[in-house]
Amino acid sequence: MTVRRVMGIETEYGISVPGDPTANPMMLSGHVVNAYASAHGVRSGRASWDYADEAPLRDARGFEINRALADPSQLTDIEDPTLANVVLTNGARLYVDHAHPEYSSPEVMTPRDVVAWDRAGELIMLEAVRRLSAVPGTAGVNLYKNNTDGKGASYGTHENYLMRRETPFTDIVRHLIPFFVARQVIVGSGRVGIGQDSRTPGFQLSQRADFFEVEVGLETTLKRPIINTRDEPHAVADLYRRLHVIIGDANQCDVANLLKVGTTSLVLAMVEDGALTRDLTVAKPVATLHAVSHDPSLRTRLTLRDGRRLTALELLWEYYEAAAAYLDARGLGGDDDPDTAEVMRLWADVMTRLGTDTMSCARDVDWVAKLQLMEGYRDRDGLAWSDPRLSAIDIQWSDVRPEKGLFHRLAERGRITSLVDAVEVKAAMTEPPEDTRAWFRGKCLEKFSGQVAAASWDSVIFDVPGRQALQRVPMLEPQRGTRAHVGAIIDRSPDVVTLLRELDAAAD
């Protein structure tokens, strides 16, 4: 195994109206989705979401929660016709989730593609903001790629990784909890304020850490767990599970974003192959998660079950060394595997610099870049961490507008490392990845939009002229429906009737 696997990122964006703190966020979020979708010929209610295979209450530990006992926020399989919900030609989903506009990227196979299609989501949100601001007589909306409003509310950036079903879930829990506790030192987005409501002055590594309260659980918006147990594979259930990771921050630095998914994918490969033999279990992982986030000096020591006391960086080096040995034993990660080689090179480089000169990582790690900027303001104006101006700067950091967002200003000045060029990101706004089933989904939306009644991660439903019943095309194998697999069929099909006939013939 390498870093390559089916994966993707879902990002809920912070939303506000200038000068109107009482504005309805659900209505505003709907405006955001519709502003982009309508401009690209996609109507909410047409090419909407297919909920048939959703199972948000099924738990990976082997049971399913009674719907009557579930929190309403968990019932994500119920369609709300009042909320905007569309599928885009790049294979992504754009919709309203928990009063936020959410962009769920299409399935991709490499960490670099995660970065490209995640950044495409930023441009999609920016276009929506631009279109809304151009409406006469309105204040428009502001959108932020962050995870908290600084007043006690948190919203998610979730990662998804396809795994082999045969992998014991207990192994996933045992090896990932310490990794996630430590991972924030390289992938945290930084935050002004300590505690869920930011009441305690200070700066911390992660936007999300303070909002996690348990080690393992099914919830995503309350009693948030380090390991989420939702068992909703969106694929052949006997073969695959989808690991739904809710503990990550929204990254804007390409290097941190690539490392977030790349290192996690490598750790999962080792878990799947039974190659992680070291016991790295952390004592009191939730409290330790908070403590690590609260210490930008990176000196906090974690107590392991075997009695060792390591810093988060030292713990991450343990995972890195295990990954290096794993790859070396299998002859992987060399010149013929550039994706894995890149992750390993950047992983070691960032950790080395964090351990010797933290601020040297300001080009690559979100929290370091933000802290460097904050310290500049503090030194210039004599600001204490309790000063509300720093909290305002924290929010402005993640504004999606290049002329307003402080991160974007740094990037424009060449002070942030870019791994994916602007042309590729712009193309990813409308084009799906070629090597997953997202290709079929996106191209059907592009070519046959009038006949696509609904879609989901594992299906496309057509309204075929002359047929009374809707026609559902299942896509339970995420690495089928690629350009190589169905591109020629789509190209030579002038209409949906021909497409379905060609697909049937190819399946025989």
pTM of whole model > 0.75? yes
Q: How confident is the model at residue 468 (pLDDT cuts 50, 70, 90)?
A: confident
3-state SS, residue 267: helix
Q: Render pLDDT for 206-257 as a digit per residue (tens, 0 to 9).
A: 999 999 999 998 877 778 999 999 889 999 999 999 999 999 999 999 999 9
User: What residue spans of 134-236 are helical by DSSP H?
Assistant: 169-187
Fold of the CATH domain 7-427: Creatine Kinase; Chain A, domain 2 (3.30.590)
Residue spans of the domains in the chain: they are: 7-427, 434-507
Q: How confident is the model at residue 51 (pLDDT cuts 50, 70, 90)?
A: low
What integer is the mean pLDDT of 374-391? 97
Residue 403: is its pLDDT beyond 90?
yes
Q: What is the per-residue DSSP string for 276-316? A: --S--PBSSHHHHHHHHHT-TT---EEEBTTS-EEEHHHHH
Of the listed 77, 80, 97, 504, which one is catalytic? 97
Look-up of token digits 């995503």: 220
* Residues recorded for the chain: 508
Q: Render pLDDT for 106-128 as a digit per residue (tens, 0 to 9).
A: 999 999 999 999 999 999 999 99
Proportion of the chain above pLDDT 90, given as a percent: 81
Residue 380: is its pLDDT beyond 70?
yes
Average pLDDT, the chain: 92
Residue 97 a catalytic site member: yes
Spatial separation of the C-alpha atoms in residues 379 and 371, rounded to whole Å: 12
Spatial separation of the C-alpha atoms in residues 492 and 113, rounded to whole Å: 28
Q: In 3D, which of 253, 213, 227 has the Cα closest to residue 407?
A: 253
Q: Render pLDDT for 273-297 as a digit per residue (tens, 0 to 9).
A: 999 988 999 999 999 999 999 999 9
Burial class, 356, CB count within 10 angstroms (exposed 0-12 / middle 13-18 / buried 19+): exposed
